[in-house]
Amino acid sequence: MPVTLRDFGSYTAGGRLHRVTEGEPRDIQVTRDVTLTFDPRGTFAVEHAYVQYFIPEPRRDAPPVVLLHGGGMTGTVWETTPDGRPGWLHLLLAQGYEVHVIDNVERGRAGFMPGLWPGEPVLRSLEDAWTLFRIGPPEGFETRTPYPNQRFPTEALEALAKTFAPRWLSTGPQQAAAVKAVLDRLDAPTLIAHSQGADPAFEAIAQGARASHLVLVEPSAEPADPAALADIPVTLITGDHLDINDLWRTRAAAWATFAADLRAAGATAHHPALAPGHSHLPMHDLGHDTVLDAILATLPG
């Protein structure tokens, strides 16, 4: 999909300097021919987000769009789909939107520092993605037999898995701080957050960050106080096959309550109906362009 860009680049947002005083220097072989002395002590830049931005030509007169990935994923989720179609990043640029794509704390090009956060990182398996993302039943994994009407391109499951990144389960506050830094830099952009990405988005807004519109794609959390979103229009995107187990039945009920609470708090809450068969990854599904169109129809202008 050809797109003309006025500008593109990257920046980091948030983070801090971390001082390490323990450890001893040691020699490490960095290539076949070079050995260097490595000192684990020193000052390190940590807990920032990496953001890549794209400004199309012409640019639409609208707030920039920030894309925030979910758990165990990076900004690649918004780029080319696993089966090779242009992703939401490309589609947004083609419609003239300025786009900023986040790799949040400890993901992708934001990098990580071993031993900095409590716990061990976890990496999602193909089997877990197959069931958790509602692509198909557990017994259908080996034969790649999906749920009826499934829109995820099942032949691309392995390509999807190659985009997974290890994640820590203890970095919520740091991720929220980085998201807030991005939103503060852009002054009230449209924020599209997927799954676990909703959690740092809510916390960033609770800490005073501003967004002109909040799009939640199957969020895995709700805000502690829905009234905090009373001045921000919200669009909620949910898929199909939500009756397969207690997890998704609970999430579906929570989303319905969340939308009702938003309206009760005086917020504008959109919940567009999607075609049957969408998974937890509507940005990758067949028909992902119609999902994005439904989102954009709820934005002003």
Q: What confidence score (pLDDT) does residue 187 get?
A: 87
Query: Domain containing 68: what range?
Result: 5-297
- pLDDT score recorded for residue 300: 85
Nearest residue to 91 (alpha-carbon basis) of 263, 296, 301, 299: 296
Mean pLDDT of the chain: 96
CATH number assigned to the domain comprising residue 104: 3.40.50.1820
Percentage with pLDDT > 90 across the chain: 95
Task: Report the pLDDT value the prediction gives residue 233, as an integer from 0 to 100.
Answer: 96
Residue 193's beta-bridge partner residues? 68, 216
Instruction: Spell 172-189 as b/e; 16+ CB within 10 A means b.
Output: eebbbbbbbbbbbebeeb
> What is the average pLDDT across 112-118?
94
Total structural domains within the chain: 1
For residues 67 and 95, what is the distance between their CA atoms, to the nearest angstrom? 15
Task: Report pLDDT digits (tens) over 143-168.
Answer: 999 999 999 999 999 999 999 999 99
The SS3 assignment for 96 reads coil
What is d(CA 18, CA 47) in angstroms, rounded to the nearest whole number? 9
Q: Which residues of 102-123 are buried (b: 16+ CB within 10 A; e: fewer)?
A: bbbbbbbebebeeebbeeebee
Q: Is the pLDDT of residue 2 over 90?
A: no
Say whether pLDDT at 120 is over 90.
Answer: yes
At 202-230, the pLDDT tens digits run 999 999 999 999 999 999 999 989 888 99
Residue 282 — very low, low, confident or very high, per pLDDT cuts 50/70/90? Answer: very high
Respond yes or no on whether the N-terminal peptide bond of residue 58 is cis (omega within 30° of 0): yes
The DSSP annotation for 230-287 comes to TTS-EEEE--S-TTSSHHHHHHHHHHHHHHHHHHHTT--EE-PPPPTT--S-TTTSTT
Give residue-wise pLDDT tens across range 241-267: 999 999 999 999 999 999 999 999 899
Cβ–Cβ under 8 Å, residues 265 and 230: yes
Share of the chain above pLDDT 70, in %: 100
Beta strands in 25-184 (DSSP E): 26-29, 35-38, 42-56, 65-68, 99-103
Band the pLDDT of 101: cuts 50, 70, 90.
Answer: very high
Decide if pLDDT at 1 tops 90. no
Closest CA to 137 of 282, 247, 245: 245
95 pLDDT more than 90: yes
Q: Assess whether pLDDT exceeds 80 at residue 96.
A: yes
Segment 50-72 mean pLDDT? 98
Q: What is the pLDDT of residues 283-299, one digit of tens each?
A: 999 999 999 999 999 99
